[in-house]
Structure 1
Amino acid sequence: MSTMLSTIIRPAEEIARFLVRRAAIARLCELDDDALKDIGLARSEIEAAAYGLMTASKRARLS
């Protein structure tokens, strides 16, 4: 039963994470460049930030 349950739950969790990231990307894309700058992002970094590929140290080096 555990294997069958994980076969259902794991993909559902991945879909949920995907939807949350896409929603975050959509909301960030709605911001103007000044607002993005205020939170430390450039428009070209939105997707990387939503997927957790941007770290504070990496961001500091790019500035």
Structure 2
Amino acid sequence: MTTISQTAGRSLRPSPSSGFFATLANSLHALFDRLERRSAVKTLNELDDRALRDIGINRSQIEDAVYGQFKTELSRYL
């Protein structure tokens, strides 16, 4: 019985453009992640102190909570 390899005729080295597109995709992902976090900070800053207290943070902890540096019970909900 004869088997035919699916990789026959294909180069094992990635093409130069694949590295470019991977870098571009990673950059776009980082940009959208940054914009989403900035939006979350802005939204939380618009809340009053009582609403912030209800979710377990105070105004000085907003950025730490959004960027994942807030290490308390709240961290499992963010």
Structure 1 and Structure 2 fold alike (TM over 0.5): yes
Structure 2 residue runs without a partner (length 5+):
1-16
1:11 corresponds to which residue? 27
Partner of 1:26: 42
Bigger relative contact order (CA 8 A; separation at least 6)? 1
Distance 1:57 1:35, change over 3 A: closer
Show structure 1 runs of 5+ residues with no match: none
Percent of aligned pairs with the same residue?
A: 39
Q: How many residues align?
A: 59
Counterpart contact for 2:56–2:74, Cα < 8 Å: no
- Aligned residues: CA RMSD: 1.7
Return the offset for 1:58: 8.2
Indicate the structure (1 or 2) with the bigger Cα radius of gyration. Answer: 2
| 1:37 has 2:37 as partner | no
What's the TM-score, normalizing by structure 1? 0.84
Write 1 or 2 for the structure with the bigger share of helix: 1
Question: After TM superposition, what 4+ stretches of structure 1 lie above 3 angstroms from structure 2?
Answer: none
Shift of residue 7, structure 1, vs aligned partner: 1.4
Structure 2 partner of 1:56: 72
TM-score, scaled relative to structure 2: 0.69
Shift of 1:4: 1.2
